[in-house]
């Protein structure tokens, strides 16, 4: 302790925290954060061997580097030029102006979030959006929680709370991992359910379900594969068959759809993403899906289906812990309203899916023209955009890229990622490829400016 208070001879080289912070006046971060970084870096230096020479320039470079890392961690708009529309790492669905206005006014005002205006007393949250979602999905009722993982957890918890009936029947082919760290068997376990695996990885028959159902069965779960597909010697019974079995055995049947397409995805290609309304029509009691995947709204978990089950789920104490805040509910309301009135151009993920290739090509031409004086080669390329969000893993949407070649493509890609705003593309065939399907047309000038700034710093 004492050792640190008394400056040792070698420490005279190290400027004071105050002096360093003053030198960093241009850094646009709260002073307290800058001070903390400076202290941390200096403490690291003090830990070094006493006879080591401390170069002040080097100290400042280290500190600036650490501050730059900190700045990059801040949530900021990025230009998604990956061609992956619902990009989980880039925040999934962006929201359109109309939805954003709703969020903004809910954020800056008091709202009737839990207030019944007619009765003048406490009401329940989410009534409007739940009703609208039920209409959209042709369901009896709907409930909304934080995300689809939370929806699954709530349903599993609810139906396995009776210690005598804890088994959740699920096909071995559906014990999948979705994204980072979301594994179906682990979710089941953490919900207190007992896994009753049936069938094999590639084949599960209705007979397997029939044999597994017994007095210990709490529910049947079907999980959509989402981000992968199996082909060849595969078999799994139709939802309708499982639903009929569940009905006879009087056990609830939940289908976790993940994306939950509320529109027919065969508009985009041959792959068909299951739709909540058809899975319910096939007899599933409950269906859950995400708000920020194909629906194109904010992060949320939507549960639709039987009115009796939904009402019981909403009374479960866990619902309280998983409930959404007013901003999300306002955004979801606005999104579902747009879907119900068919104003798809207001939902960015939908307009990106539907963007015209000729239009993308025209933009690519304009961008390339604006870069023509720079020391790089820029060409129009053919891109393969994807839906992302774990939906339609085989579907490729024809797209257009701006392909950039420079002396060091890797270095250029990395610098562009740290530009203002950051631009995320992908390297292929010694090119940095920027897919325009996922770039908002209003971002083209920003994209050009980011490339200009970056090329000047690399060359
Ligand atoms: C994406 C997905 C989830 C998780 O959804 P979140 O909204 O990210 O929690 C769950 N199940 C399936 C099948 C999915 O595809």
Q: What is the mean pLDDT of residues 1-27?
A: 72
Residue identifier of the C-alpha nearest atom 2 of ligand 1: 258
> In this predicted structure, what is the pLDDT of residue 181?
82
Cα–Cα distances (Å) from 190 to 127, 317, 320, 380, 449, in that order, read 29, 17, 18, 50, 48
| pLDDT(176) > 80 | yes
pLDDT in the model for residue 55: 81
pLDDT for position 33: 96
Atom of ligand 1 nearest to the CA of 291: 7
Cβ of residue 256 lying under 6 Å from some atom of ligand 1: yes
pLDDT at residue 2 above 60? no
Nearest ligand 1 atom to alpha carbon 182: 4
Output the residue whose Cα is nearest ligand 1's atom 13. Answer: 258
CA separation, residue 302 to residues 17, 228, 341 (Å): 51, 22, 20
DSSP secondary structure string for all residues of 61-74: HHHHHHHHHHHHHS
Dist. CA 49 → ligand 1 center (Å):
50
Please name the residue whose Cα sits nearest to atom 12 of ligand 1: 258
The structure tokens listed for 104 are 């903004």
If one residue of 173, 226, 286 were mutated to test the ligand 1 pocket, choosing by the most ligand atoms within 8 A of its CB, it would be 226
Query: Which stretch of DSSP H or E encloses residue 256?
Result: strand 253-258
Helices (H), 26-76: 31-46, 56-73
Please indicate whether residue 148, judged by its CB atom, sits closer than 6 Å to ligand 1: yes
Q: Which of 171, 181, 258, 322 is the best mutation target for the ligand 1 pocket, counting ligand atoms within 8 Å of the beta carbon and taking the most?
A: 258
Q: pLDDT band at 145, cuts 50/70/90?
A: very high
HSE-CB at 35 with a 13 A cutoff on CA atoms is: 4
**pTM of the predicted model as reported, rounded to 2 decimal places:** 0.94
Q: Ligand 1 centre from 67 Cα, in Å?
A: 34
- Give the closest residue (by CA) to ligand 1 atom 6: 148
Cα of 290 to ligand 1 centre, how many Å? 6
Share of the chain above pLDDT 70, in %: 95
How many angstroms is it from 389 CA to the middle of ligand 1? 9
pLDDT at 298 over 90: yes
Query: Which residues on neighbouring strands pair with residue 196, listed in sequence order?
Result: 169
The three-state secondary structure class of 228 is coil
């Amino acid at each position: 302790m004492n050792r640190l208070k008394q400056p040792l001879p070698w420490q005279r080289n190290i400027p004071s925290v105050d002096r360093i912070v003053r030198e960093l006046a241009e850094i646009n971060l709260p002073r307290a954060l800058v001070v903390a970084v400076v202290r941390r870096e200096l403490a690291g230096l003090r830990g070094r061997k006493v006879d080591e020479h401390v170069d002040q320039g080097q100290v400042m470079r280290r500190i600036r580097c650490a501050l730059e890392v900190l700045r990059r961690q801040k949530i900021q708009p990025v230009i998604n030029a990956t061609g992956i529309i619902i990009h989980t790492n880039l925040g999934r669905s962006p929201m359109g102006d109309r939805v954003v206005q709703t969020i903004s006014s809910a954020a800056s005002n008091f709202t009737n979030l839990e207030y019944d205006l007619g009765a003048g007393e406490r009401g329940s949250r989410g009534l409007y959006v739940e009703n609208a979602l039920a209409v959209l999905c042709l369901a009896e009722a709907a409930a909304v929680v934080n995300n689809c993982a939370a929806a699954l957890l709530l349903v599993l918890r609810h139906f396995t709370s009776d210690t005598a009936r804890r088994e959740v029947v699920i096909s071995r082919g559906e014990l999948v991992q979705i994204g980072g760290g979301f594994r179906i068997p682990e979710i089941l376990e953490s919900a207190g359910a007992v896994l009753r695996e049936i069938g094999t990885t590639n084949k599960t028959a209705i007979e397997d379900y029939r044999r597994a159902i017994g007095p210990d069965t709490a529910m049947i779960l079907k999980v959509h594969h989402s981000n992968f597909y199996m082909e060849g010697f595969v078999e799994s019974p139709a939802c309708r068959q499982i639903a009929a079995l569940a009905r006879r055995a009087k056990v609830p049947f939940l289908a976790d759809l993940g994306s939950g397409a509320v529109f027919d995805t065969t508009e985009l290609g041959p792959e068909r993403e299951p739709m909540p309304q058809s899975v319910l029509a096939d007899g599933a009691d409950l269906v859950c899906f995400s708000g920020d995947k194909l629906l194109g709204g904010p992060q949320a978990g939507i549960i639709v289906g039987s009115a009796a089950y939904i009402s019981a789920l909403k009374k479960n104490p866990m619902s309280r812990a998983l409930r959404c805040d007013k901003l999300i509910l306002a955004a979801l309301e606005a999104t579902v309203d747009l879907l119900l009135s068919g104003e798809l151009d207001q939902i960015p993920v939908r307009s990106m899916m539907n963007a015209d290739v000729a239009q993308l090509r025209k933009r690519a031409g304009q961008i390339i023209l604006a870069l023509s004086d720079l020391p790089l080669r820029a060409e129009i390329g053919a891109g393969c955009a994807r839906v992302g969000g774990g939906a339609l893993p085989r579907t490729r949407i024809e797209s257009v890229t701006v392909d950039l070649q420079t002396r060091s493509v890797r270095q250029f890609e990395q610098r562009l990622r740290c530009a203002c705003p950051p631009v995320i593309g992908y390297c292929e065939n010694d090119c940095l490829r920027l897919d325009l399907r996922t770039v908002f047309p209003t971002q083209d000038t920003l994209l050009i400016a980011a490339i200009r700034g970056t090329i000047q710093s690399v060359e």
